[in-house]
């Protein structure tokens, strides 16, 4: 395949998925890692994408808007939410991250009673609060421009004061090497603190997150108990996740 053909393929894939990994491109295009790196650097020099450690991002590095994410893979997210909620008994304490998949978890928890809930997503707070004797704490911080949620140092510091039985946390991507990643440093910090604050930390992610590389690593993946998804990732990614520690639950 000629360089220009590879470039067109890379650009079409990054436009479709938002991010790519070098490992995936090596496998799909049957060329060396050095060749892929040169291709990515050439495209980055033209402003057509952004290179990262291990891959590339669309030149628009922002996470898609919440309404776009909720419409994407809605059936899968509902199934993931129901499986995640099945872990939670009445009376449990939970941390629930903001996002479309975690919102599906919260919807599946509306028949639980006496939950203690910590969340930075005000929609989730309203969904689970004032019902079934639940107690809900809405975490403080700066209101996001793109999420119905709070983030920031205040959010991280408040989370450090709590410990919950379960945490349900989203992610921007799970790389081919088994790293949990996100779009911004502060969101990654909040999610890392959520994982650290739970006895049983759970990542909820539909299949589109596998192989996606976003700019910032989330700490604490090795403390995660489960990754819940609706579709088995390829064997290399499944092995990489297992090597980090979490068990993969496919609904």
- 76 — alpha (psi -120 to 50), left (phi > 0) or beta? alpha
CATH of the domain at 47: 1.10.10.10
* Burial classification of residue 235, based on how many CB atoms lie within 10 Å of its CB (0-12 exposed, 13-18 middle, 19 or more buried): exposed
Q: Is the pLDDT of residue 6 over 80?
A: yes
The pLDDT assigned to 68 comes to 53
Indicate if 162 and 89 belong to the same structural domain: yes
Indicate if 78 and 29 belong to the same structural domain: no
Model pLDDT for residues 198-247, shown as the tens digit of each residue: 999 999 999 989 988 777 889 999 999 999 999 999 999 999 999 999 99
Indicate if 150 and 188 belong to the same structural domain: yes
Indicate if 22 and 103 belong to the same structural domain: no
Task: Say which DSSP state 54 is in.
Answer: T
Mean pLDDT, the chain, whole residue set: 90
Indicate if 192 and 229 belong to the same structural domain: yes
Task: Map tokens 């739970």 to a residue.
Answer: 198
Indicate if 137 and 40 belong to the same structural domain: no
- 74 — alpha (psi -120 to 50), left (phi > 0) or beta? alpha
Domain interval for residue 21: 3-58
Indicate if 103 and 8 belong to the same structural domain: no
Indicate if 45 and 71 belong to the same structural domain: no
| 61-75, 108-122, 204-218: range with lowest mean pLDDT | 61-75
Indicate if 29 and 149 belong to the same structural domain: no
Task: Map tokens 């297992």 to a residue.
Answer: 242
Among the candidates 41, 58, 75, a domain finishes at 58
Indicate if 38 and 136 belong to the same structural domain: no
Among the candidates 58, 75, 104, a domain finishes at 58
With beta carbons less than 8 A apart as the criterion, state whether 26 and 59 touch: no
Arithmetic mean of pLDDT, 150-170: 96
- Name the domain count of the chain: 2
Which tokens is 38 given?
């040169």
Indicate if 15 and 85 belong to the same structural domain: no
> 7 Cβ partners below 8 Å, 6+ apart?
39, 42, 43
With beta carbons less than 8 A apart as the criterion, state whether 223 and 199 touch: no
Q: Is the pLDDT of residue 70 over 60?
A: no
Model pLDDT for residues 18-52, shown as the tens digit of each residue: 778 898 899 999 999 999 999 999 998 877 888 87
Confidence of residue 129 (pLDDT cuts 50, 70, 90): very high
Q: How far apart are CA 232 and CA 74, in angstroms?
A: 17
Q: Is the pLDDT of residue 193 over 70?
A: yes
CATH of the domain at 143: 3.40.50.1360
Q: Is the pLDDT of residue 13 over 80?
A: yes
What 3-state class would DSSP assign to 142? Answer: strand
> What secondary structure does DSSP assign to 174-237, as a single string?
E-TTS-EEESSHHHHHHHHHHHHTEEEEEEE--GGGBT---SEEPTTGGGEEEEEESSPPPHHH
The pLDDT assigned to 214 comes to 79
With beta carbons less than 8 A apart as the criterion, state whether 203 and 180 touch: yes
Indicate if 30 and 107 belong to the same structural domain: no
């Amino acid at each position: 395949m000629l360089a220009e053909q590879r470039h067109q393929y890379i650009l079409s894939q990054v436009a479709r998925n938002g991010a790519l990994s070098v490992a995936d491109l090596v496998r799909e295009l049957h060329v060396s890692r050095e060749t892929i790196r040169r291709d990515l650097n050439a495209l980055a020099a033209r402003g057509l994408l952004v290179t990262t450690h291990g891959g590339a991002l669309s030149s628009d590095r922002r996470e898609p808007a919440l309404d776009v994410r909720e419409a994407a893979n809605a059936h899968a997210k509902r199934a993931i939410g129901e499986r995640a909620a099945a872990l939670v008994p009445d009376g449990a304490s939970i941390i629930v991250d903001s996002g479309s998949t975690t919102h599906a978890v919260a919807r599946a928890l509306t028949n639980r009673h006496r939950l203690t809930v910590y969340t930075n997503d005000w929609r989730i707070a309203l969904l689970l609060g004032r019902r079934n004797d639940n107690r809900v704490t809405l975490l403080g911080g700066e209101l996001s421009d793109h999420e119905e949620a709070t983030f920031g140092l205040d959010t991280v510091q408040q989370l450090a004061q709590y410990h919950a039985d379960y945490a349900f946390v989203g992610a921007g991507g799970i790389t081919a090497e088994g790293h949990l990643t996100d779009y911004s440093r502060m969101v990654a910090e909040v999610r890392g603190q959520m994982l650290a604050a739970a006895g049983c930390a759970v990542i909820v992610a539909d299949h589109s997150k596998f192989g996606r590389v976003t700019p910032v690593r989330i700490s604490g993946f090795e403390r995660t108990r489960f990754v819940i998804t609706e579709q088995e990732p390829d064997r290399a990614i499944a092995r990489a996740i297992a090597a980090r520690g979490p068990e993969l639950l496919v609904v």
